[in-house]
Amino acid sequence: MKIYQVDAFTQEPFKGNPAAVCILNEIKDEEWMQAVAQEMNLSETAFLYPEKDGYDLRWFTPAAEVDLCGHATLASAHALWENGYLNLDQQARFYTKSGLLTALVRGDWIELNFPAEPEKETDPPEEIIKAIGAKPIYTGRNRLDYLFEYETEDIIRGLAPDFSFLGSILGYRGVIVTSKSKLESYDFVSRYFAPGVGINEDPVTGSAHCCLGPFWKQKLGKNPLTGLQVSRRTGVVKVSVEGERVLLMGRAVTVLKGELTA
């Protein structure tokens, strides 16, 4: 079975968020997929199997299966087009635990059509604030994550969470931290922490932008928007909110091609 490693939400190798993409030639069970994800030891490994007019798509961290992942979907679409599984003018269609997701080539960019995941304001959870290390000016929550807004980008960049403590108390997939960008090229910045599913800090998180897009659209009165995820690797995500859907745009580059022998 073919496997690819793709850096997503970047056009530079060794930037953005790496994902493994495994093209299955037979159906595999969850235990096998989890073992492969642990072996790859990346934030996500995507497994694709041809189905109907598209592909069944599942995502695994080294520790658990997740319901929605943007960067590994971007990586999957990129791998399908680059390696001839789909023609460049064909839509990539993925059947997932979050419904049908689609992707299109838009020049040098790939456009993903994802469900919007808007947050609702909630009381700030004191233990999580303690683990993150700074009190936000706003706290929201959706079905996947908490969202913490801070006053400045410098606060976002300087956060050093207690991941062991955070992973033991979270009860949700992760925490998005965000602020308005101090650079004119970007509208907002973010980071994403999810130690409870085996990822202390995710380099670039497409699915978090399903929340960040609606949040910053309302706050800034602007659509589309451009977000910069300020992890060590960094990555750029363009977001357009279209009703109950969001269009996420990113670039990708393949850094490894191989074959699974086990």
20-60 residue pLDDT tens: 999 999 999 999 999 999 999 999 999 999 998 999 999 99
Residue 112, domain member (yes or no):
no
Phi and psi (nearest 5°) for 254?
Answer: -85, 135
pLDDT of residue 132: 97
Q: Is the pLDDT of residue 170 over 80?
A: no
Alpha helices in 41-117 (DSSP H): 70-82
Q: What is the rounded radius of gyration, in angstroms, for the C-alpha atoms of the chain? A: 17
The C-alpha atoms of residue 187 and residue 215 are separated, in whole angstroms, by 12
Domains held by the chain: number: 2
- CATH number of the domain within which 68 lies: 3.10.310.10
Residues 255, 223 share a domain = no
Residues 125, 100 share a domain = no
Residue 111, domain member (yes or no):
no
Residues 155, 78 share a domain = no
The C-alpha atoms of residue 90 and residue 93 are separated, in whole angstroms, by 9
Residues 144, 100 share a domain = no
Residue 114, domain member (yes or no):
no
Residue 110, domain member (yes or no):
no
Q: What is the mean pLDDT of residues 206-233?
A: 97
Active site residues per annotation: 44
Domain of 79 in residue numbering reads as: 2-104+249-259
Number of neighbouring beta carbons within 10 Å of residue 25: 9
Q: Are 15 and 258 in contact (CB under 8 A)?
A: no
Q: What is the mean pLDDT of residues 120-148?
A: 96
Q: Is the pLDDT of residue 131 over 80?
A: yes
Mean of per-residue pLDDT scores for the chain:
96
Residues 128, 151 share a domain = yes
List pLDDT tens digits, range 138-156.
Answer: 999 999 999 999 999 999 9
| Whole-prediction pTM | 0.92
